[in-house]
Amino acid sequence: MLLSLLSLDLAAGTPAITEPIQDGDFCNRLKVAGTGAFEVGVSVKDRQLALEYSNFMSGDGDLEMDTSTVEAQRAAKLPGMGNGSAVPLNLYENAKIIYSGKTPMVGVKHINSKSFWGGIGAEVTESFSVTEMEREGSTYFASTDPASYMTDVNKIAQILAQSPVHTVGIKTKNSFNGTWQTDARMHKLLSKDVKVHEAFTGKFEVEKTLKFHENPVKEKRQLGCDDLDC
């Protein structure tokens, strides 16, 4: 059993993105069991959330899969998450997969909080090529201020306490025969560069949690006369 855990929290940086007034939601749920060839793919590009996300998989063999992907521009009302909706996320993907076949099942997942669009410059890529796999995993992303249009001070404080705003993360537990790899990076111009690479080929059991988080608290701007009697 291999256990990998990375959690990076950075103080005071990129402000949370204001949620759009005209919001949009996307939800995709798939549950399938059978034998044969398959291709499954989801791609989301949303400049208002500073989000790029894609998840593609193909194979030819015995497959059982239960997966859902939900994206919402208003994180406070993320649809389709059941009990998980208490946490205001902008994207949540969850999957359970069992596969076996002579033809390798190949997949790649990528999520990026694009700094050019107002994100934190963190990205994670997970890929695999396996003839056997049992896995449970999730991907989560938050970039907007869920209290953007609230006026009640108590409600604002409550929802901000729950908000994981400016977070990019994955969590997975899987056993496989083949190759499984993760690559992650967070780049802050002229200040920080973090890289993670992990690859395993053979028969492995892996538990992994990886999270990038940047505190969106705005720094107080100091004037030249601060703390001086002028």
pLDDT digits (tens, 9 = 90+) for 74-116: 886 665 555 555 678 999 999 999 999 999 999 999 999 999 9
For residue 75, the SS3 value is: helix
pTM for this predicted structure:
0.84
Model confidence at 3: pLDDT above 80: no
Q: Which of 201, 39, 34 is nearest to 107 (CA)?
A: 39
Q: Is position 14 within any domain?
A: yes
In order of 175, 178, 184, 198, 203, the CA distances from 207 in angstroms are 9, 16, 16, 12, 14
Q: Tokens at residue 137, please?
A: 């995993």
**78: containing domain:** 2-214
Q: Is position 185 within any domain?
A: yes
Contact 137, 170 (CB under 8 A): yes
> What is the band of 230 on the pLDDT scale with cuts at 50, 70, 90?
very low
DSSP annotation of 221 reads: P
Model confidence at 226: pLDDT above 60: no
Contact 196, 208 (CB under 8 A): no
- Give the residue, 225 or 5, on which the prediction is more confident: 5
pLDDT digits (tens, 9 = 90+) for 142-200: 999 888 888 888 887 777 777 888 999 999 999 999 999 999 999 877 778 889 999 99
Overall number of domains in the chain: 1
For residue 88, the model assigns a pLDDT of 85
Q: How many C-beta atoms lie closer than 10 Å to residue 148's C-beta?
A: 16
Tell me the Ramachandran region of residue 80: left when phi exceeds 0, alpha when psi lies from -120 to 50, beta otherwise: left
Q: Is position 230 within any domain?
A: no
d(CA 62, CA 105): 10
Q: Is position 154 within any domain?
A: yes
> What is the band of 1 on the pLDDT scale with cuts at 50, 70, 90?
low
Q: Is position 179 within any domain?
A: yes
